Amino acid sequence: MAEIQIKGIAKSFGAFKALHSIDLTIADQEFMVLLGASGCGKTTLLRIIAGLETPTQGEVWIGGRRVDRLPPRERGIAMVFQNYAVFPHLTVLENIAFGLRMKKLPQPEIDRRVTRTAELMHIEQLLARYSGQLSGGQRQRVAVARALAMEPDVILMDEPLSNLDALLRLEMRAELKGVLAGSKTTTIYVTHDQVEAMSLADRISVMNAGRIVQAASPVEIYRNPAARFVGSFIGNPPMNFLPATRTPDGRWSVAGITLGGPAAASGKLEFAIRPEDLTVAAGGFDAVARVVEPLGAHTLVTTEIDGALFRAVLDSDVRINPGDRLSLVPKPDRIRWFDPETSLAA
């Protein structure tokens, strides 16, 4: 059982505040992804949980034990590093056995675990090799096997797939998901790749500028962004935004059409809609198509509404040419509203 609790963790590097008082609870056996652009603090948070970085403030609890003063080796964690950190002077076998030898486990137990994890990661034929003789993908497998062999309470992964080529990344992603689900450990996975985050996570914590903006399931994050940042960061293409002003009858006027919305205190809101939640029909936004990109299943149309960029993902049998005027109607149940003052969902 290893629930992770992060309580008020803050970290400053000199005058720069990398993390502003982070609170987060990760359930036992949960797969939590920390997602954010580079420099948002996600790796710093992971390294604080690992014990490779000391927090300026706050506490880290793993499995009901406060660990923020303990060295990494006493925290019951294993880690997969971005550059793998597979020891070049040891064979694959010795790399996987490294942590087990440090724990002074009996040799039969070491053999059992090395064999099991090597089979799990499909590297049993590579055990005698050195890392210099392995491809990037194989090194990645060794790094994961080394972590799994520890049978840890928590596995921490720092952008483990970022150095692999696209095809391999796809393959490893699916495999990691299966392997980690089977291992019943709590996983914290850092990435800047939202597709990776969506496909792997039980829950995603979207981070921005040293804060967790939203921590929720992938679908929730996608459908109900808690802040404008989440909507603009998640989704490819991201959400569309348009300014909205309140009409005298309490409805909202958005780019020439009037929509029902929340009863906000201020007279201004921001209307938001995902590009795929638009249909071409009468009575919608008056948009001028600028770029048309057929993507097979869908066609991505970049339009202009009142001088602002506005994207729509339309069915690919819709015939649109650049310069065409079209009327885009948002699906009413998919419309989201943000307060421009706080950037939070209204």
Interface ranges with other proteins (CB under 8 A): 50-52, 71-73, 77-79, 81-83, 85, 87-90, 98-99, 102-103, 129-133, 146, 150
**Count of C-beta atoms within a 10 Å radius of residue 260:** 9
Kindly state the smallest distance separating residue 281's Cβ from other proteins, in Å.
55
| Eight-state DSSP code of residue 52 | S
* CB-nearer residue toward other proteins: 79 or 239: 79
Q: What order of strands is seen across the sheet that includes strand 203-208?
A: 77-80, 154-158, 186-191, 31-35, 203-208, 211-216
**Count of C-beta atoms within a 10 Å radius of residue 232:** 16
Angle between helices 136-149 and 107-120 (to 10 degrees): 140
Kindly state the smallest distance separating residue 85's Cβ from other proteins, in Å.
4
Kindly state the smallest distance separating residue 87's Cβ from other proteins, in Å.
6
Question: Could you tell me if 270 and 228 are in contact, meaning their C-beta atoms sit under 8 angstroms apart?
Answer: yes
Kindly state the smallest distance separating residue 289's Cβ from other proteins, in Å.
49
* CB-nearer residue toward other proteins: 71 or 307: 71
Kindly state the smallest distance separating residue 161's Cβ from other proteins, in Å.
16
* CB-nearer residue toward other proteins: 147 or 301: 147
Kindly state the smallest distance separating residue 45's Cβ from other proteins, in Å.
16
DSSP 280-326: EEEEEEEEEEEEEEE-SSEEEEEEEETTEEEEEEEETT----TT-EE
Question: Could you tell me if 259 and 231 are in contact, meaning their C-beta atoms sit under 8 angstroms apart?
Answer: no
Kindly state the smallest distance separating residue 133's Cβ from other proteins, in Å.
4
Q: How far is CA 231 from CA 77, 146, 260, 272, in A?
A: 33, 37, 20, 8
* CB-nearer residue toward other proteins: 131 or 214: 131
**Count of C-beta atoms within a 10 Å radius of residue 324:** 14
Separation between Cα atoms, residue 133 and residue 138, nearest integer Å:
9
* CB-nearer residue toward other proteins: 90 or 209: 90
Question: Could you tell me if 149 and 100 are in contact, meaning their C-beta atoms sit under 8 angstroms apart?
Answer: yes
Q: How far is CA 326 from CA 266, 303, 321, 343, in A?
A: 31, 9, 10, 29
Kindly state the smallest distance separating residue 152's Cβ from other proteins, in Å.
9
Classify burial at 14, counting beta carbons within 10 Å of its beta carbon; exposed 0-12, middle 13-18, buried 19 or more. exposed
* CB-nearer residue toward other proteins: 134 or 287: 134
* CB-nearer residue toward other proteins: 94 or 324: 94
Q: Could you give the 3-state DSSP secondary structure of residue 155?
A: strand
Amino acid at 109: E
240 closest CA partner among 253, 228, 256: 228
Kindly state the smallest distance separating residue 42's Cβ from other proteins, in Å.
17
* CB-nearer residue toward other proteins: 52 or 264: 52
* CB-nearer residue toward other proteins: 143 or 335: 143
